[in-house]
Amino acid sequence: MNGKITRIISNLYTVKSGDLTYGCRARGKFRNLGISPVVGDNVVIDQEENYILEIEPRRNELKRPVIANVDICFIVTSTKKPDLDLVLLDKLLSVVIYNEITPVICFTKTDLLNDLEMETIENIKKYYEMIGIKCVYNTEKTLIKKIVEGNTVVLAGQTGAGKSSLINSLDENLHIETNEISEALGRGKHTTRHVELYEIANGYIADTPGFSALDIKEIGKEELKYTFPEFDKYECRFRDCMHKKENDCGVKKALDEKLILQSRYNNYLLFLEEVEKWK
């Protein structure tokens, strides 16, 4: 029988097949092959013995959060408490784009902003939309459900950004634990401790543990620039231009003309330095 892994707790895999759910164990052969079943895997199970027999080939896989076969990643981005973190946002975008997953930025907690802060967020949102990345506010529930329909969606973002709260707002029958922001630390407290797929809006949404740090060592330094889609619009003198110190760089020229967001370019250089340490 074919099914999809929707939750993993300890060594018990919850597999959804049609309208039925099975609690399964994994065969020892996966450990011998160095393979671990993950949430989102399409699998073949023995429903009589409750064992996972085969893992079907994955379209893609994220390492953090650990999940496979994702269509869309909602990068849930707090605008206040915790404050907007453009470094983490851009790093998540690079990882998601590199893994050929469609990114959607979901801004949360705009009700905490004053008029000037809201104007800043709206300008940032316009920039990301201009470079081809869909952006939504967490209050746009109808639009979010339309995006989710028919897709497997993962939520990613820092602790306390409002991932679990977003899922709760999309399905009133769910009561996923949430928590207040720590005033002392200025960030959220972990409430989600495992990855789990929920059936919402005729699709799947994965809630994931939050995090505030992420490495991008899986991306090669020559590939990193392609995870910044706005760079593709500008021609450089050298085909292998890294947009760093080279002459006649179209990206640096566009930056000088304020066609590229300064924070985006700064983050690109930051990530490039990080990637070069691993190569």
**Quick check: 190 pLDDT over 60?**
no
Selection from 213, 164, 186 nearest residue 81 by Cα: 186
Q: Which segment of 15-29, 55-69, 126-140, 201-215 scores lowest on mean pLDDT? A: 201-215
Q: Which segment of 44-53, 126-135, 173-182, 231-240 scores lowest on mean pLDDT? A: 173-182
- pTM beyond 0.95: no
The predicted-structure confidence for 206-255, as pLDDT tens digits, reads as follows 877 765 556 788 899 999 999 999 999 999 999 999 999 999 999 999 99
The predicted pLDDT at position 211 comes to 55
Radius of gyration of the CA atoms of the chain, in A: 20
Q: Reduced to 3 states, what is the DSSP secondary structure of residue 270?
A: helix
**Quick check: 128 pLDDT over 60?**
yes
Selection from 137, 132, 131, 103 nearest residue 118 by Cα: 137
The predicted pLDDT at position 133 comes to 98
Q: What DSSP letter does each residue of 162-194 carry, written as one string?
A: SHHHHHHHH-TT------PPBTTTTBPPP---S
The predicted-structure confidence for 161-175, as pLDDT tens digits, reads as follows 988 889 999 988 876
121/124 Cα distance (integer angstroms)? 5
Structure confidence at residue 185 as a pLDDT band (50, 70, 90): very low
Q: How many CB atoms lie within 10 A of CB 44?
A: 15
User: Average pLDDT, stretch 73-89?
Assistant: 95
The predicted pLDDT at position 178 comes to 54
Beta-bridge partner residues of 148: none
Q: What DSSP letter does each residue of 98-129 carry, written as one string?
A: HTT-EEEEEEE-GGG--HHHHHHHHHHHHHHH
Q: Which residue has the higher pLDDT, 183 or 155?
A: 155
275/269 Cα distance (integer angstroms)? 10
177/96 Cα distance (integer angstroms)? 26
**Quick check: 259 pLDDT over 70?**
yes
What is the average pLDDT value for the chain, to the nearest integer? Answer: 90
The predicted pLDDT at position 140 comes to 97
User: Average pLDDT, stretch 92-112?
Assistant: 95
The predicted pLDDT at position 275 comes to 92
The predicted pLDDT at position 188 comes to 43
**Quick check: 179 pLDDT over 60?**
no
Helices and strands (DSSP H and E) totals, the chain: 8, 13
- Quote the percentage of the chain above a pLDDT of 70: 91
| Cβ-Cβ contacts under 8 Å for 41 (sequence gap 6 or more) | 4, 5, 55, 56, 58, 68, 69
| Cβ-Cβ contacts under 8 Å for 136 (sequence gap 6 or more) | 104, 105, 106, 107, 143, 144, 147
User: Average pLDDT, stretch 252-263?
Assistant: 97
